[in-house]
A = this chain, B = another copy of it.
Amino acid sequence: MTKTPVKHAPKKPDYEKALRKAGIRITRPRKIILGILGETEDHPDALEIFRRAEQVDKSISLSTVYRTMKLLEEMGAIHRHAFEGGPSRFEQAGGDHHDHLIDMDTGDVIEFRSDRIEQLQQEIARQLGYDIVHHRLELYGRRRKD
């Protein structure tokens, strides 16, 4: 059984090259946003990414952030999460698959992975006659005070 907080590997997939290959231009805003996503360890939403991007270039617009997030998602370069009805939150793809436990008091997001659960999901889908394209497992909880 595997079940550990997931450490983000120091992955650095070359998304600029991937974009270029897909015939998509490497513009200044895109470079900045990719930089932010590559560095962060958390799961920021579009507004937070926008705020961080502003530090680098005051002229970036929020719509460009939204557009870029959609583009990167379609390319498979990032994952979009919609925790508990809040705004979408993003993280770079390319690391190992993991699911999330959300601390209901602090909002912290803890990553974990259970190969056993992943496997059971496959079995369930197969028995129901489906192939899983993707899935979402979120645990919402509070620190156990003993």
Contacts and interface: CB of A to CB of B under 8 A. Distances in A.
Interface of A: 3, 5, 80, 82, 84-85, 88, 101, 103-104, 110, 112, 114, 116-117, 120-121, 123-144
Given A82-B85, A124-B112, A130 B144 contact: yes
Nearest to A3: B124
- 3 pairs of A and B residues whose beta carbons are closest in the complex: A130-B141, A132-B141, A135-B139
A131 B103 CA distance: 10
Contacts of A144: 126, 129-131
Number of copies: 2
B117 A130 contact: no
Contact of A140 (B88, B120, B135): B135
Nearest to A5: B128
Contacts of A131: 141-144
A112 B125 CA distance: 9
A137 B135 contact: yes
19 contacts: A82-B85, A101-B128, A101-B130, A103-B130, A110-B128, A114-B124, A120-B120, A124-B139, A125-B139, A125-B141, A129-B143, A130-B144, A131-B142, A132-B141, A133-B141, A135-B140, A136-B136, A136-B137, A137-B137
